[in-house]
Amino acid sequence: GKIHFFKGGYVWKGYEGDAQLATNIFKELDDIHGIGHVDAAFRMHNPVNSKDHDHIYFFLDDKVFSYFNGSLEEGYPKTIQEDFPGVPSHLQAAVECPKTECKADSVLFFKGQDVFMFDIPTKTVKTKSWNHLPTCNSALRWLEHYYCFHGHNFTRFHPVTGEVSGNYPKDARNFFMRCDNFGHGRGYTVPKCSDVKFDAITTDNTGKSYFFAGPMYVRLDNARDGLHAFPIVRSWKEVANGVDAVFSYTDKMYMIKVGQSVYIYKGGAHYTLIDGYPKTLKEELSIEGHVDAAFVCPPEDTVYLIQGRSLKTVDLSATPRVVIRDLPLPLSNIDAAHCSPNGIKLYQRGVYYHYESPMILATSRIAPRPLKIPAQFGCEE
């Protein structure tokens, strides 16, 4: 999916290229008001209701328009109150917030310094005043990050609290569009897939998938919005300088760091470090030494820990946790591992090895043929 940038009666699709009249794409916007611009827009996140999910909503004065695949839905435009009771007219910005990032599937509406948090399932509104934020002319959710645009600057904020972390405002021309003499990523070259090296890969119980490399992480499961690396400390602020291994179990994410420390984060709208952590590997998993990779295959309660040519298994449902099995591996120098319904993948630089199940991995004595890292990881083949 391409981000649409609106200004006046024009729209830009993506980060570069010529502007088009918004009414050439969304023709009905001009039928009532004859002005062709929008006050606010967002993409609905409501997977429970397929009739609304992924529809694009435009707000113009006191009206709302719902589009799907470029066509206006039957019955629209409506008054804003019909679809979003309690939300005022003449809005300035709007942005969706899924329940994995807010407490429920929600929409944030901005008007002046007031933010109207619309709970989609209950159709109720809570109003907050975020006086520390600039007045938002538009708002954007991109890869779990939330941005308030004001003039040609933007400020990143927390969608639940409105908290601003980091040095803001920043110039949008350096980040969200390609302009001459601007751009924080100028000179970046896409790596070859044969050079890609991961430190860890995991998928949490809500379906969010991440890979980790050095001090950075990339979310994988929403690739339609693009791939972008962010500092690990932005989402897991206590974990600096990278990880050795990561695995997910129930609603928690386990991060194993250099120095044999285990950090356990509870999932939810945002990851939160559990009290009492970090702990040592010995305390938490009854092992010592460097961990190359780790994975869990849901709904199992077993974590598989790779150390050199050794595959150790630990029952996470047991107290205390002890090593159940210590098996030889036909491979060494494993960087990362991941289990999905399609099987297990063990990653080395530029390649991976596929196994159908933990049982086959545990009993194999000969390594399978290595497969090339695919371009879906943001590399060139």
The pLDDT score that the predictor gives to residue 223 is 64
Q: Which of 302, 46, 119, 98 is nearest to 208 (CA)?
A: 98
pLDDT beneath 50: ranges in the chain: 34-35
Regarding the domain delimited by 193-377, which CATH topology (the fold level of the hierarchy) does it fall under?
Answer: Hemopexin (2.110.10)
Are 80 and 90 in contact by the 8 Å Cβ rule? The answer is no
The pLDDT score that the predictor gives to residue 22 is 73
What does the DSSP assignment read for 214-231? Answer: TTEEEE-TTGGG---EEE
**What is d(CA 243, CA 200) in angstroms, rounded to the nearest whole number?**
7
The pLDDT score that the predictor gives to residue 189 is 74
The pLDDT score that the predictor gives to residue 187 is 57
The pLDDT score that the predictor gives to residue 37 is 72
The pLDDT score that the predictor gives to residue 174 is 82
Are 74 and 80 in contact by the 8 Å Cβ rule? The answer is no
Regarding the domain delimited by 4-174, which CATH topology (the fold level of the hierarchy) does it fall under?
Answer: Hemopexin (2.110.10)
Tens digits of residue pLDDT in 311-347 = 999 999 999 999 999 999 999 999 999 999 999 999 9
- Count other C-beta atoms under 10 Å from residue 10's C-beta: 16
> What residue spans in the chain does CATH classification 2.110.10.10 cover?
4-174, 193-377
CA dihedral 72, 63, 127, 268 (to 10 degrees): 0
Partners of 325 in the β-ladder: 313
